[in-house]
Amino acid sequence: MSKQDSNRKHRRVVPAPPPSNPRLHSTVLTVECAEDEEVEWHWTETAEGRFVSGYRLVPRLSNPA
């Protein structure tokens, strides 16, 4: 198994939240991230509603035991 295959196994696909108005379309549909990452969504607000226009991957905070 290659290193790339090994890294891919520990990744997950996160769907973007839907827009507030069905007539609007998000720029981002899904994001692939590592198990130790979370997605921070960037929203664009318009007169018709809001939609996801970007994202940022941030480290996942671990819960203290």
Query: What's the one-letter identity of residue 44?
Result: T
65 domain-assigned:
no
Answer with the residue of higher pLDDT: 6 or 9: 9
Domain limits for position 48: 3-59
**Three-state DSSP string of 1-65:** CCHHHHHHHCEEEEECCCCCCCCCCCCCCEEEEECCEEEEEEEEEECCEEEEEEEEEEECCCCCC
**What is the number of structural domains in the chain?**
1
Residue 29 in tokens: 């549909």
Supply the mean pLDDT for the chain.
Answer: 88
The answer to whether 53 and 26 have CB atoms below 8 angstroms apart is yes
pLDDT band at 1 (very low <50, low <70, confident <90, very high): very low
28 domain-assigned:
yes
